[in-house]
């Protein structure tokens, strides 16, 4: 079986996009039909070239206290979307962090 060492420009762009989306090495390897080792090596090189942070699908349990109108609004929006309050809160925080919307959400200047 021939080794497939060369990544096409399309493969590389897709790898970078998936890295930025926080996809796991396994998911990227499956999508690109490459070995996980090959993806780890290429991702490491691309992180240095593009100055991307190390990523992946790490998860942490976070406990927060929300009360009053904020909690009521979360309940209403979660119910309207067919999600749990925790699921909606997770989605909100993920989008805010991924798209760097902290200043926009908090109403602060950059």
Number of domains in the chain: 2
Enumerate residues 6+ apart whose C-beta is below 8 A from 32.
Answer: 11, 14, 15, 39
Mean pLDDT of each 10-residue bin along the chain, 110 residues long: 71 87 86 92 83 61 86 94 90 88 83
> What's the predicted TM-score (pTM) here?
0.47
Distances (CA, A) of 24 to 15, 42, 71, 105: 11, 14, 32, 28
74 within some domain: yes
Candidates 59, 49, 55; CA nearest to 93 is: 59
Distances (CA, A) of 77 to 68, 84, 87, 91: 15, 9, 11, 12
Same domain, 44 and 75: no
Query: How many whole angstroms separate alpha carbon 42 and alpha carbon 35?
Result: 11
Same domain, 73 and 45: no
Give the pLDDT score at 74: 94
Dig out the tokens for 2 from the structure. 């021939």
Structural domain harbouring 31: 9-50
1 within some domain: no
Beta-strand runs (E) in the chain: none
């Amino acid at each position: 079986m021939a080794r497939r060492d060369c990544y096409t420009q399309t493969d590389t762009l897709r790898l970078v996009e998936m890295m930025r989306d926080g996809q796991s090495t396994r998911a990227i390897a499956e999508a690109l039909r490459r070995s996980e080792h090959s993806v780890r090596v290429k991702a490491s090189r691309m992180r240095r070239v593009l100055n991307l942070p190390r990523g992946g699908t790490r998860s942490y349990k976070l406990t927060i206290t929300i009360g009053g109108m904020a909690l009521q609004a979360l309940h209403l929006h979660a119910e309207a979307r067919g999600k749990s309050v925790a699921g909606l809160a997770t989605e909100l925080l993920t989008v805010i962090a991924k798209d760097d919307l902290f200043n926009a959400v908090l109403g602060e200047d950059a």
